[in-house]
Amino acid sequence: MTKKIAIIVEHNAGELKPIIYELLSMAQKIMTLEECKITLFIIGEGIDKLSQSISIETGHDIYAVHTPGFLKYNGSLYKEIFSKLFTKKKFDYICAPHSTSGMDYAPALSVALQSVCISSVEDVLVEDGKIYFFRSMFGEKLSAKFVNGPNPLVMTIQPGSFKPFFPKKEKTGKAKTGAITRMVYKCNENTMVFTGSKVSPCKSSELDKADVIVSGGRGIGEAQNYKYIEMLAKLFPRSATGASRPICDYGWVKYSKQVGITGTFVSPKLYIACGISGSNQHVEGIKNSKFIVAINSDRQAPVFQIADVCIVEDAIEFIRLFVKKFKKEKLITQGLEKAAIKASARMKN
């Protein structure tokens, strides 16, 4: 029997939130374990273009629920609409982002559906023929696994846990387009009133796009030493500098550089942690990095447990020596290249 997966799409200011591709990735993983059909749901005003682009890009059917007069997120409205929709249309899995809004409406939705909600899901695995959903608990000290019951399972997906899935575009022929079901929901007077929004200072496109990130923590000693973090980062192309939460709290660097659960989730090709002990909230934010190098004077630092290369040394002293050595080797290499070019020119003459 084909199972049904519902994915709730989040958007803001006419743009999709990237977490949709991680939700699709999780759904694809479930589909490798059992036969499933994916359907997308989007709520808001003026969502025609968004729903059309989603149906073309993903090839999945989408329900576009128009809510005249409601441009911004409204938790009670989401719960009201989705509870009615999912009561009429039965789904086995209902997936939402583990965002501020997802954490708000998902538990309430599960109560309305007399179902259960698993928050912050990090992985999906099969054991003994059963599908289990994993998440960390008690500050990463325990990993719990949950199995679905007879009722629809509502889940919020932890950002950064699943590699984004981008549907492949057809090179030839007509691409598959999902069907769009347009609905209009007349909203009654609501007890929740939107008063405004404020952009988080932790959001940084610089960190999101970097191939290499060099971050500093309390181990760098003082604010003035952050210049060494920047110095090391400049050695790499497409690099950015980050920081642990404590030094942001100290005011050494801006919160826009904070990496971790309460900052930015990152997944660069190379992550270098300098003087960062490795708290659970920081580790959670960097665990999807392709390669991690940790520099810390404390050989018992938790960050060493997830690092690919562990360097037990004072971070600032190591950076000084590394940069000096790098520049020296670069000069030697450049000198050899120039000598080779000159020798080649003489031989031609």
What ranges do the domains of the chain cover?
3-184, 205-332
Q: What is the pLDDT of residue 208?
A: 81
Alpha-carbon span 32 to 91, nearest angstrom: 18
CATH architecture classification, 205-332:
3-Layer(aba) Sandwich (3.40)
CB atoms near residue 188 (< 10 Å)? 7
Q: What is the pLDDT of residue 145?
A: 87
Q: What is the pLDDT of residue 343?
A: 66
Q: What is the pLDDT of residue 172?
A: 47
Backbone region of residue 342 per phi and psi (left: phi > 0; alpha: psi in -120 to 50; beta: other values): alpha
Q: Which CATH class is domain 3-184?
A: alpha beta
Alpha-carbon span 218 to 77, nearest angstrom: 44
Whole-structure pTM value:
0.68
The tens place of each residue's pLDDT in the chain, 349 residues long, gives 788 999 999 988 778 888 899 899 999 999 888 889 999 999 988 888 999 988 888 889 999 999 887 778 888 888 989 999 999 989 999 999 998 889 999 999 999 999 999 998 888 988 888 889 988 777 666 778 888 876 789 999 987 778 788 876 555 455 578 889 998 987 766 666 777 776 655 555 588 889 999 999 999 999 999 999 999 999 999 999 999 999 999 999 999 899 987 788 888 999 999 999 988 778 888 988 899 999 999 998 889 989 999 999 999 999 999 999 988 887 776 666 676 676 666 666 5
Interhelix angle for 75-88 vs 102-112, to 10°? 40
Q: Do domains 3-184 and 205-332 have the same CATH topology?
A: yes
CB atoms near residue 262 (< 10 Å)? 15
Alpha-carbon span 227 to 249, nearest angstrom: 18
244 within 8 A of 187, measured Cβ to Cβ: no
